Amino acid sequence: MFCFQCQETFKNSGCVNRGVCGKTSDVANLQDFLIWISKGLAEIEVKSERNNKEVVDRIILNLFTTITNANFDFSQIKDRIFETIDMMNSLRENKNYSEAANWSSKNFSEIEKKINSGEVSILSEENEDIRSLKELITYGLKGMAAYARHAKVLGYESEKVNNFILTTMAELLREKSIDELVSLTLETGSMGYLAMETLDSANTKTYGNPEISKVNIGVRKNPGILVSGHDLKDFEMLLDQAKDSGVDIYTHSEMLPANYYPKFKKYENFVGNYGNAWWKQRDEFEAFNGPILMTTNCIVPPKDSYKDKLFTTGAAGYPGCKYIEADEKGHKDFSEIIELAKTCKAPEEIEKGSILGGFAHSQVMELADKVIEAVKNGDITKFIVMAGCDGRMADREYYTEFAKKLPESTVILTAGCAKYRYNKLNLGDINGIPRVLDAGQCNDSYSLIQIALALVDAFGVESVNNLPIVYNIAWYEQKAVIVLLALLSLGVKNIHLGPSLPAFLSPNVTDVLVEKFNIAGITNVEDDIKNLII
């Protein structure tokens, strides 16, 4: 195996024997093969005269399945491979195709032989700059696919995004120059922005605009179900099916923003949020006592103490954990989880009190006058975008310290699970405007962009780069990659990315990003505050 798609990759170079995330080498190899044939399937579709919706849906699901911490299940990924090959075999025409598009065998030893040849590995591309750019684009597509899928289950999709995913997957099989790949990288960012916009419409039109909300982080006395991941549709279905069951529902990690949507607030059995970012789940899931539903990443290999209570659905999967399938209409039956919850003890209280959130674009626009006035009279001197991911490495303590040491005249704009590093610090407010404004999930970074664009208008400046906004973004997995590319495609400069720069960026590709966008890493809290803020 060789995998370097996330921030925690071994020695900031690449996981080779087993993933730091827990992914085994046989699963990593199957994921590489799945991506390779998905590119082949895209090529078949692009070369045809058809517009087969099932093909793009399949490619989106395959990309999403290989995102960090989503699916560790060898047999599920093997099934996806077979289903993809079936689709390719039924669609192939009498045309000239690449080897990936021509792959037709479902004989597993032949698939293994191909994997063992190293020809579908990331390292099969020998030029490190081409490899770096092709992987950067692939990871951007994985993040985009995740967002496209969340929108799709709510009945929203963008033809442009779908077509881009198809054509780009096919293009990645071809030889490309550095210049071509650099421009494809920026196009990936623009399409990522569109994918986030589509998901924002899907979420807000289905569940209402997020609003300022005080979220309970304590517990009640009933047994509960904990819902993690990013899929709001799964959350809604479970909430609805559990409404009269006597079982309470809690959100976890990236599902926290579900608490901000008006439509979910009417459910009596929706208690609040339990726990913190994904990487603390081994202790927190044990303390929760009840079943847990993982709707997407991030799964940490579970402890035996709760493994039989961990369920997966959608693109997520873990060997030995029950997978909840959707029927042909997209409906999922969660009764088994609800019945199991009834037999469990109530959650152990690990925290008390509440946190504040719900500052997505429409809510912030309502506060715009107040915000603009505070900037004009100097009460707010800077906004710091600290969106992105959290992770388990100790050096992420940097973000807590950074937030604590920021001048009191600054406001943090956040989205994604990165917020857990500072959302319980009680940093106070400025004229009633909280100093941490949480827009929602990582995809709600879209809201942060909308807020920046509104400030450009309000202050009459030339571009987002002339605003008092500093970007100190934490990344971990591929959704953060698409958010970053979206920001770059909008011309945002001087982004600081940490805790380390991606291992998949070669020195030359990093130079291009520095030259074009002045991207930089982070150093230490004192120096960064001095250089970025004061």
Which residues lie near ligand SF3 (CB under 6 A)? 69, 230, 253-254, 278, 297-298, 389, 416-417, 441-442, 476-477, 479-480
CB of 176 to ligand SF3, least distance (A): 28
| Beta carbon of residue 503, minimum distance to ligand SF4 (angstroms, whole number) | 8
Q: What contacts 103, CB < 8 A, 6 or more positions away? A: 36, 37, 40, 85, 88, 114
**Residue 5 contact partner, candidates ligand SF3, ligand SF4, none, CB within 5 to 8 A by sort of partner:** ligand SF4
Q: In angstroms, what is the minimal distance from the CB of 66 to ligand SF4? A: 9
Residue type, 433: I
Closest approach of ligand SF4 to the CB of residue 219, in Å: 32
The torsion defined by the Cα of 440, 480, 52 and 156, in degrees rounded to 10, comes to 10
Among ligand SF3, ligand SF4, none, what binds residue 6 when CB lies within 5 to 8 Å by partner kind? ligand SF4
Reported in sequence order, the residue ranges of 445-519 that DSSP labels E, i.e. its strands, are 469-474, 495-498
Contact call for residue 21 and ligand SF4 (CB under 6 A) = yes
Calpha distance 88→101 (Å, rounded):
7
Distances (CA, A) of 129 to 134, 172, 181, 240, 434: 8, 14, 10, 49, 43
CB of 70 vs ligand SF4, minimal distance in Å: 10
Binding-residue total with ligand SF4 (CB under 6 A): 13
Both tokens of 386, joined, read 């600290």
**Is the CB of residue 228 less than 8 Å from the CB of residue 249?**
no
Least distance to ligand SF4, CB of residue 303, Å = 19
Part in contact with ligand SF4 (CB under 6 A); list of ranges 3-11, 236-244, 448-456, 526-534: 3-11
Residue 23 interacting with ligand SF4 (CB under 6 A):
yes
199 near ligand SF4, rule: CB under 6 A = no
Work out how close the CB of 320 gets to ligand SF3 at its nearest, in angstroms, rounded to a whole number: 21
417 binds, among ligand SF4, ligand SF3, none (CB under 5 to 8 A by kind): ligand SF3
39 is an interface residue for ligand SF4 by CB under 6 A: no
β-partners of residue 450 are none
| 27 binding ligand SF4? (CB under 6 A) | no
Q: How far is CA 120 from CA 137, 173, 323, 385, 505, in A?
A: 17, 11, 28, 38, 20
> Using CA atoms, how far apart are residues 228 and 337, in angstroms rounded to an integer?
14
Select the binding partner of residue 19 from ligand SF4, ligand SF3, none (C-beta < 5 to 8 A, by kind). ligand SF4
5 scored as a contact of ligand SF4 (CB under 6 A): yes
| Residue pair 283/263 in contact by the 8 Å Cβ criterion | no
Does 6 sit near ligand SF4 (CB under 6 A)? yes
Separation in Å, CA 272 to CA 285, 413, 416, 452: 15, 22, 17, 29
Window contacting ligand SF4 (CB under 6 A); options: 19-27, 199-207, 337-345, 484-492: 19-27
Counting every residue written for the chain, the total comes to: 534
Instruction: Indicate the residue among 34 and 480 with the shorter CB distance to ligand SF3.
Output: 480
The Cα 441–Cα 160 span in angstroms is: 23
Q: Are 318 and 301 in contact (CB under 8 A)?
A: yes
Partner whose binding site includes residue 416, from ligand SF4, ligand SF3, none (CB under 5 to 8 Å by kind): ligand SF3
- The conformation of residue 343, written as its DSSP 8-state character, comes to T
Q: How far is the CB of 413 from ligand SF4 (least distance, A)?
A: 27
Comparing CA positions, the residue from 145, 85, 72, 139 lying closest to residue 111 is 85
The C-alpha atoms of residue 18 and residue 233 are separated, in whole angstroms, by 33
The one of ligand SF4, ligand SF3, none whose footprint includes residue 363, by CB under 5 to 8 A per kind, is none
Q: How far is the CB of 19 from ligand SF4 (least distance, A)?
A: 3
> In the complex, which residue's CB is closest to ligand SF4?
19
Which of ligand SF4, ligand SF3, none does 8 bind, CB closer than 5 to 8 A by kind?
A: ligand SF4
Contact partner, 253, from ligand SF3, ligand SF4, none, Cβ < 5-8 Å per class: ligand SF3
Q: For residue 29, give the nearest of 116, 88, 133 by alpha carbon.
A: 116
Does position 20 interact with ligand SF4 (CB under 6 A)? The reply is yes
Contacts of 71 (CB under 8 A, 6+ apart): 27, 65, 77, 312, 315, 316, 317, 318
DSSP 8-state class, residue 21: T
Compare residues 158 and 441 and give the one whose CB is closer to ligand SF3. Answer: 441
The answer to whether 8 contacts ligand SF4 (rule: CB under 6 A) is yes
Site for ligand SF4 in 61-80 (CB under 6 A): 68
Is the Cβ–Cβ distance between 454 and 369 less than 8 Å? no
The gap from C-alpha 175 to its chain's centroid, in whole angstroms, comes to 29
Beta-strand (E) ranges in 110-256? 213-216, 224-228, 248-251
| Residue from 268, 300, 297 nearest 281 by CA | 300
Least distance in Å: CB of 246 to ligand SF3?
A: 29
Which one of ligand SF3, ligand SF4, none is in contact with 40 (Cβ closer than 5 to 8 A by kind)? none
Which span sits near ligand SF4 by CB under 6 A: 16-24, 221-229, 447-455, 490-498?
A: 16-24
- Identity of the amino acid at 221: K
Query: Is residue 481 part of the contact set for ligand SF4 (CB under 6 A)?
Result: no
CA distances from 205 to 191, 253, 368, 488 (A): 21, 23, 22, 27
Residue 257: name its binding partner from ligand SF3, ligand SF4, none (Cβ under 5 to 8 Å by kind).
Answer: none
Work out the widest C-alpha separation in the chain, in whole angstroms.
Answer: 70
In the complex with ligand SF4, which residue's Cβ is closer, 174 or 282? Answer: 282
423 is a site residue for ligand SF4 (CB under 6 A): no
- The residue ranges that bind ligand SF4 (CB under 6 A) are 3-6, 8-9, 15, 19-21, 23, 28, 68
